[in-house]
Amino acid sequence: MNYSNRFFIIPFTATVYFVLYQLNIVLFGALHYSHRVDWIFLPSGLRLAFVLLFGLDGALGIMLASTLITYLLYFDGNYLNLLISGSLAGLAPFVARLLAIDFLKLDKDLLNLNSYGLFKVSVLFAIISPLIHQLWYFWIGRTENFLASAAIMMVGDWLGTVLVLACFGLMVPVIRRVL
């Protein structure tokens, strides 16, 4: 991928992720469970889409946006926690992508991705990301009940992913008609 694409993809993914995170707070803020755990988390669908489509560049954009979100909404004065907490949002789905390529035999260019494969990948993403996040939050004392927070985050991430993918699915026919 050339540098001009990278310089577009990274800020694009960061901006869209940041905006959808804010929208998720507005729409589903009442469904908040614990520190950064929600019963419905729409940005998880963007994590999946951006990391599948753009790989490391998508992960970097998500990391930048999440670091900014962590700074603006959750900063506790510890810059190491800020950097790690922000980075996990992009790192966790990238790890899940690598696992999907290795264990689910996902083609790195998504050539073999069908509906069933997308379902498997979405479940894998909804397991890996919450586990990595909750291990970190438990380690730094932000999560008191690791199992409950991880399980609810898995549900919220998967529901958010399904909703975002359904919206993308509804938009595809409209986009095809316009183009």
Domain parsing of the chain, residue ranges:
3-178
Q: How many CB atoms lie within 10 A of CB 47?
A: 30
Report the Cα 125 to chain-centroid distance in Å: 8
Burial of 45 (0-12, 13-18, 19+ CB in 10 A): buried
The mean pLDDT value for 137-157 works out to 95
Looking only at the bridges linking them, the beta strands covering 37-38 and 32-34 are antiparallel
pLDDT for residue 179: 64
pTM of the full structure: 0.91
Q: Average pLDDT, whole number, for the chain?
A: 93
Q: Specify the residue for token string 């001009």.
A: 4
Provide the strand spans (E) within 54-113.
none
Whole-number Å distance between alpha carbons of 29 and 41: 10
Which residues, 6 or more positions from 119, have their beta carbon under 8 angstroms from its beta carbon? none
Distance (Å, whole) CA 157 – CA 41? 5
Section 26-30 average pLDDT:
95
Most confident of 12-16, 115-119, 166-170: 12-16
Among residues of the chain, what percentage have pLDDT more than 90?
Answer: 79
Q: What is the pLDDT of residue 153?
A: 97
At 77, the pLDDT band (50, 70, 90 cuts) reads very high
- The yes-or-no verdict on residue 176 having pLDDT over 80 is no
Q: Give the number of residues written for the chain.
A: 179
Q: How far apart are CA 156 and CA 40, in angstroms?
A: 4
For 3-178, the fitting CATH number among 3.40.640.10, 3.40.50.10490, 1.20.120.10, 1.10.1760.20 is 1.10.1760.20
Q: Which whole-number Å values give the CA distances from 177 to 78, 104, 169, in the listed order?
A: 50, 33, 14
